[in-house]
Each structure stands twice: as C-alpha cells, then as structure tokens.
Structure 1
Amino acid sequence: MADTNRIMKELREIASDVASQVKVTQHGDSLVHMKGTIAGPSETVYEGGTFHIDIQIGASYPFEPPKMKFLTKVWHPNVSSQTGAICLDVLKDQWSPALTLKTALLSCQALLAAPEPDDPQDAQVAQMYTERRGEFDETARTWTKKYATEDQKDPVVGELMEMGFSEGAVLKALTKCGGNKDRAVEELLGGA
C-alpha cells in the first residue's frame, strides 16, 4: 500500500506553495488517483496555458514513480499528441524516493520549456520541432490556446459534454461520483 501519510504531507506542501503554480486535486477521497495542474512556462509557446495531468499512484510509491499523463492536449515532442503519455526520465528510470509529486509536476513543467526531440514520445512532433521550428511553434501556440487556456473546461467535463450531456448534468454527476468519469457516465446514462 502506498505511504498515505507521505502523500498527505506532499499534498499539504503543494497546497501551501502557491508560488510554484502547481496544484493537485484528489478524485474524491482517493489518494491513488489525482489530477495535477501546471502553468505553461513563461516565454514559451505554452505560456498562458493551464495543463492538467492525470496522476496514478501505485502501491510501491514512493519507491516507484507515479504514473502521469497529460489530460490536456499538448503539442510537444515528449508528449503523445494522441494519448498524453509523457517521455520523462524522472517518471521512469531516474525516479528516486526522494522525489515528490511536486517535483514530478515541476519536471513536467520544465519539460514543456525544454523539449528533448532526440528522445521523443511523438516522432511526428519531434520531426516538426527539429525541421520546421516555425510551424511547430505556431501549432503548439494554437493547441495551447485551444486546449489549455483558462476559459477551457476541465478535460473530463469537456469529454462528457461532447457525448451530448449538458454542463450542469455533467458537473452534478461528477460531483456525486467523486470525480470518477466512468461512474459519472453510468450516472448520466442511468438518468439519475
């Protein structure tokens, strides 16, 4: 079982550090499935964006890294434009129990500022980054504006609304189901 005392301590530390622009919210009472939020780094094509990251904590945490993926669509060589999977060493072989959820999220934020096209998660994006940088920058800015600006809805809310449900019904179902998307879908389909 993951070290819940440590996770709670980490969540308190993140909540008290507003300067880092990193946030973590729980899905209901769960300490194993959370959502991280990072700000797009200033003076980058991601500036002004708010990016949501799915966080899943395994039973061996902190001895194994959390599983993280972008929920917000992002055009970046080290993030899958399809699935949000992240290619980042601290989320794999460079993880250490001394690292925290906050340092992992800050590492994701730093990755946005300093792409590694030679070790890509998305080869198409990496190729554009190295061969057609102007086109890459424009695409990344467009995606940031379209998917990551403050007026964008939570990705889960948007996804459920795309299924044809009203925003009010989606928010009510997600609240009732502790943020669990699958249970919210059941709730919405059940008409309860």
Structure 2
Amino acid sequence: MAGVGATRRLLHELAAVNRDRSGQKELVKVLEPIREDDLLEWHAELHAPDQGVYAGGRFLLQIQIPTSYPTKPPSMHFITRIFHPNVDWKSGEICLDVLQSQWTPAWTLQSACTAILALLDVPEPDSPLNVDAANLARCDSVAYRGLCQLYTQLYASEKAPTEMNHSE
C-alpha cells in the first residue's frame, strides 16, 4: 500500500497526465495504474519517434513504484523486447541514470518515460546491459541499425503481439 505522500504525488501525476495533451502525449500513449485500487503498479505505452531505428515501434513498460516514492525512483522495465545497448534483452531492465543514482523527486513518471524515449535515440554503449548491442553500435552501425529495425518489426510493430514475456 502506498504511503500518504506517495499516494498524493501519484494522484497528482495521474491528473497531470490526463490533462496533458501536448506533443509528448503523442509519444507516451498510455501512462496509468494497471488497477484502480493499486497506485504502485503502472504501465506505459511508448511510441518511438517517426525517425530513427525504432520508427513505428510501440513499446510497453511495466512500472513498479516504491512506497517511498518520489524520494526513491520507480523500477521501470520493458515488457516489449527491444534490441538496445542499455536494455537487458532477457529481463527488459533499463540502465538509465535518472532511474538510479540521478533520480530526484523533481522527476515524474511522465518525465522518466520521456527520458527513456530519449535514450532510444541516443544510446549509451559505454554502460551497456546488452553487450552485444553495445559492441555492434560501436563497431558496425549499419548492422546495429538493421537489427534494431528488425526486432522492432518483430516485437514492437502494430502487427506484433501486445506483450512479450522476457523469461522466454
């Protein structure tokens, strides 16, 4: 159960997301609690920008929020498989400093989703969770881009399944 501070903050964020119909809303299609009676489990649907290696992709995220939120960051991971240097292929874990050491209460779930979208465009191959993707991004950008596009078509296109289990 969420603490009073976390509950208040999450209700405020949910209201802000529902009011926000600006440009980022187009890329963050869904950001909401999974169930009405539990504010600590959310999901998001991110749509990759029209340009870039993930163009046309829609990526589902699972968000676990600690009871000490917003002091502590949420745990966010991809449900949809994605080939990216900073995302673990098996678990969907995301290596992003704002979800770890650089988190401050000024960040919101919406801004964290926006940071994840930015990471898609500008990977950080020097701190990889997917070493194969990082090596390919550094050494053969054409092959890297091709694999990103292929996996986006397989797992994140409109024709792909809506959920992928990372335990496969």
TM norm structure 2: 0.88
Give, in whole Å, the separation in 1 of the partners of 2:161 and 2:141.
Answer: 29
Over the residues paired in the alignment, what is the CA RMSD in angstroms? 1.4
Give, in whole Å, the separation in 2 of the partners of 1:44 and 1:112.
Answer: 9
Which residue, out of 34, 46, 50, partners 1:27? 34
Q: Does the CA-based 8 Å contact 1:57-1:66 persist in structure 2?
A: yes
Larger relative contact order, structure 1 or 2 (CA cutoff 8 Å, min sep 6):
2
Count of residue pairs the alignment pairs up: 157
Report the counterpart of residue 8 of structure 1 in structure 2: 11
Farther off after superposition, 76-85 or 25-34: 25-34
Give, in whole Å, the separation in 2 of the partners of 1:114 and 1:14.
Answer: 25
Q: What displacement does 1:133 show? A: 1.1
Report the counterpart of residue 119 of structure 1 in structure 2: 127
Report the counterpart of residue 103 of structure 1 in structure 2: 111
Specify which structure has the higher proportion of strand.
2
- Amino acid across the alignment from 1:63: T
Q: How does 1:22-171 map to 2 (within 5 A)?
A: 22=28, 23-29=30-36, 30-155=38-163
Give, in whole Å, the separation in 1 of the partners of 2:71 and 2:117.
Answer: 22
Q: Does the CA-based 8 Å contact 1:41-1:112 persist in structure 2?
A: no
Specify which structure has the higher proportion of helix.
1
Q: What displacement does 1:113 show? A: 0.6
- Amino acid across the alignment from 2:76: M
Q: How far does the alpha carbon of each residue in 1:87-128 deviate from its partner, in whole angstroms, 9 at most, with x for none? A: 000000000001100010000000001001011111111001
Give, in whole Å, the separation in 2 of the partners of 1:16 and 1:151.
Answer: 30
Q: How far does the alpha carbon of each residue in 1:115-169 deviate from its partner, in whole angstroms, 9 at most, with x for none? A: 01011111111001111111111110011111111233320xx65xxxxxxxxxx
Give, in whole Å, the separation in 2 of the partners of 1:14 and 1:148.
Answer: 23
TM norm structure 1: 0.78
Q: What displacement does 1:47 show? A: 1.0
Report the counterpart of residue 17 of structure 1 in structure 2: 20
Secondary structure of 1:27's counterpart equals: strand
Secondary structure of 1:127's counterpart equals: helix
Relative to structure 1, the CA distance from residue 12 to residue 152 in structure 2 (aligned partners, 3 Å threshold; closer, same or farther) is farther
Is there any run of 5+ residues in structure 1 with no aligned partner, and where?
Answer: 160-192
Give, in whole Å, the separation in 2 of the partners of 1:88 and 1:73.
Answer: 17
Give, in whole Å, the separation in 1 of the partners of 2:19 and 2:154.
Answer: 30
Relative to structure 1, the CA distance from residue 76 to residue 95 in structure 2 (aligned partners, 3 Å threshold; closer, same or farther) is same
Secondary structure of 1:31's counterpart equals: strand
